[in-house]
Structure 1
């Protein structure tokens, strides 16, 4: 009788609560659809089962899903600060000459202009020259052909990153390498929680880095967002975007509070909202939880770090 051995790293991944599992997988691939499908298929008995599930999920990704995945990869030769996976995978560019780096930058820009996304290749083990030759070869492809090549390369990258997850040694997985965020909203004009406010979460590893949109949620009856996406490893700054205008427009149709009866109306009949959107940016450190409440009315707001 053959026994099935589950590697310790895979066993720990199987046992992770969903938020931590999402964070671990999102570090491997930024496609939310891919992450959710792999989480839904747990537990995995073997590493090969996990790799096969990754390949199957990848094969079904739409063009929009692929774009989301590619947005998580920096250009060749320019790994993001705080992104050790990309820096490790692009090690072949570490000793590249200034001439080669300049050539890669020019080729990257030309590729992005043609296809609308970064040049993606499984760079592990490749020299800078081989990566340069690959982009030269692929830049003439038809968009449909290039999309399928990207899908193949992404599959290779995902397998390599999942292997690192599976082959972790016996030390427990720690979620303290990331911060976490939550929020709730109180409508001070009504004296109750604000339900149904759309909230978007973005993160970046430094002030000079680009924002990465992680996804969003909406507040529940208690004014809370209980399912905001996990933050990537290396996050140092977070932004919460609250879509408050549509919330107040909906409230004006459902209640007759005095403050809204007396408020001047917009041309389309909704209440005047001085801040149609609220964006809150704050700094975070690994291992800390940040609860950021929003106190809101049609003409002002305040935020603070809660507990």
Structure 2
């Protein structure tokens, strides 16, 4: 899809497409309302700024749309992003599952990490590091991870990344 096509969509359809990048409804509505952008970089900057100030409830909605790291997902996007994790041996997958359980018990939501290009061992090491964070620090980290994931997904939506 080209940027001009995204900008020409009616608001509900534009929001729907933006939510494939980040399933945060209020964020998608604000980004849609900010049209036209004039360039992909302007869209990405607006999307990032809106995500940085979106409510915790909107972030929580977005988190709920992400599968656990290392678990098979119906989503082709998630399978693509987690290709390194999903290729892991059973021992690493079991350790990821246990880490996911501990993370969710500690922080109350799914472990969100920019998984594209990372191996299962790297994702597991990051999970272990992040389990050491206090809740406030972890919330900042996951917002950065969500922003990176959203940026990549928007770039892919607009044909700017493979």
Query: Which TM-score applies when normalising by structure 1?
Result: 0.51
SS in 1 for 2:20: helix
Name the count of aligned residue pairs: 160
Mapped to 2, the partners of 1:19 and 1:132 lie a distance apart of: 38
* Structure 2 segments unaligned to the other structure (5+ residues): none
Contact 1:10–1:167 (CA under 8 A) maintained in structure 2: no
The structure where helix makes up a greater share of residues is 2
1:241-293 CA distances to partner (integer Å, 9 max, x unpaired)?
xxxxxxxxxxxxxxxxxxxxxxxxxxxxxxxxxxxxxxxxxxxxxxxxxxxxx
Shift of 1:14: 0.6
Q: Which residue of 2 aligns with 1:112?
A: 104
Query: Which TM-score applies when normalising by structure 2?
Result: 0.95
Shift of 1:19: 2.0
Q: Which residue of 2 aligns with 1:58?
A: 51
Q: Which residue of 2 aligns with 1:47?
A: 40
The structure where strand makes up a greater share of residues is 1
Q: Could you list the runs of 4 or more consecutive aligned residues of structure 1 that deviate by over 6 angstroms after TM superposition?
A: none
Contact 1:9–1:167 (CA under 8 A) maintained in structure 2: yes
Q: In structure 2, which of residues 7, 15, 21 is the aligned counterpart of residue 14 of structure 1? A: 7
Contact 2:72–2:86 (CA under 8 A) maintained in structure 1: no
Q: In structure 2, which of residues 84, 89, 100 is the aligned counterpart of residue 92 of structure 1? A: 84
Shift of 1:129: 0.4
1:141 is aligned to 2:133: yes
Q: Which residue of 2 aligns with 1:166?
A: 158
**RCO (CA 8 Å, sep 6+): is it higher in 1 or 2?**
2
* Structure 1 segments unaligned to the other structure (5+ residues): 1-7, 169-307
Mapped to 2, the partners of 1:66 and 1:148 lie a distance apart of: 11
Q: Which residue of 1 aligns with 2:147?
A: 155
Mapped to 2, the partners of 1:154 and 1:141 lie a distance apart of: 17
Shift of 1:80: 2.4
1:178-216 CA distances to partner (integer Å, 9 max, x unpaired)?
xxxxxxxxxxxxxxxxxxxxxxxxxxxxxxxxxxxxxxx
